[in-house]
């Protein structure tokens, strides 16, 4: 494999990883909101489970936005932190992985 083939493979892999990361964040948002609303339903009605048709009894759009914004904020902060670490250069990355420069 020459350099250009390796570069194309790396681009495809990176694109797939970005898509999977976005999918993971969306799933995290959905599950987090579902767990919070399940908790509120349990506190209000004392039942451990509910059907999706009963979700409107405890659904609060503002709370959903706040939860989602907090999660997206934490994900963005973590991403920015890692981006700053990785932008320091190859030697810093090698040292973080236990390499000797």
- Which among 21, 56, 10 has a CA at the least distance from the CA of 37? 56
- Whether the per-residue pLDDT at 9 is higher than 80: the answer is yes
What is the distance between the alpha carbons of residues 53 and 17, in angstroms, rounded to a whole number? 35
Mean pLDDT to the nearest integer, 14-22: 94
Over residues 28-77, the pLDDT tens digits come to: 999 999 899 888 888 888 777 777 777 777 888 899 999 999 999 999 99
As separate numbers, helices (DSSP H) first and strands (DSSP E) second, the chain gives 3, 0
Quote the percentage of the chain above a pLDDT of 70. Answer: 96
User: Residue 1 has what pLDDT?
Assistant: 63
Measured N-to-C along each axis, helices 3-45 and 61-86 cross at an angle, to the nearest 10 degrees, of 150
């Amino acid at each position: 494999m020459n350099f250009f083939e390796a570069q194309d493979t790396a681009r495809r892999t990176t694109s797939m990883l970005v898509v999977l990361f976005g999918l993971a964040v969306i799933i995290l948002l959905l599950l987090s909101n579902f767990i919070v609303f399940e908790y509120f339903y349990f506190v209000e009605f004392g039942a451990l489970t509910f059907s999706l048709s009963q979700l409107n009894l405890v659904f609060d759009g503002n709370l959903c936005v706040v939860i989602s914004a907090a999660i997206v904020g934490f994900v963005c902060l973590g991403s920015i932190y890692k981006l700053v670490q990785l932008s320091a250069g190859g030697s810093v990355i090698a040292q973080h992985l236990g390499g000797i420069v």
